[in-house]
Amino acid sequence: MTQKLEEIRAQAVSAFQGATSSKELYDLKVQFLGKQGSFSTIMKEMGKLSAEEKPVFGKLVNEVKQALESVYSEKEESLRQAELQAKLQSESLDLTLPAPVE
């Protein structure tokens, strides 16, 4: 299960970093970290582990989840800044023009 968790982590990080828009990034977050996502699926499988393995695996799950949320937040901020810059460049206002006369 640890290997499966690492595979999900690698896929999620790669997908998050490859996102090109905020909507795409959010959809990826739902796919990996959402209620029906890959991460939730592996957490449901924790019930199959022995009592000794559960705390160790639970700690690993929490670390991976925090790492994914951190990568998501960084990419979200990066995309937000890029989208803002694109919007600012597309909306130009020439302040040297005279005001319209009515």
Q: Is residue 44 a part of any domain in this protein? A: yes
Residues 6+ apart with CB under 8 A from 61: 5, 39, 42, 43, 46
Task: Let me know: does 68 contact 32? Beta carbons within 8 Å.
Answer: yes
Q: What is the pTM of this model?
A: 0.76
Q: Is residue 14 a part of any domain in this protein? A: yes
Q: Is residue 19 a part of any domain in this protein? A: yes
Q: Is residue 67 a part of any domain in this protein? A: yes
Q: Is residue 10 a part of any domain in this protein? A: yes
Supply φ then ψ for residue 49, to 5 degrees.
-80, 160
Task: Let me know: does 68 contact 13? Beta carbons within 8 Å.
Answer: yes
Per-residue tens of pLDDT for the chain, all 102 residues: 778 888 888 998 899 999 888 899 999 999 888 888 888 888 888 888 888 888 888 888 889 889 999 999 999 999 999 888 888 888 777 778 787 887
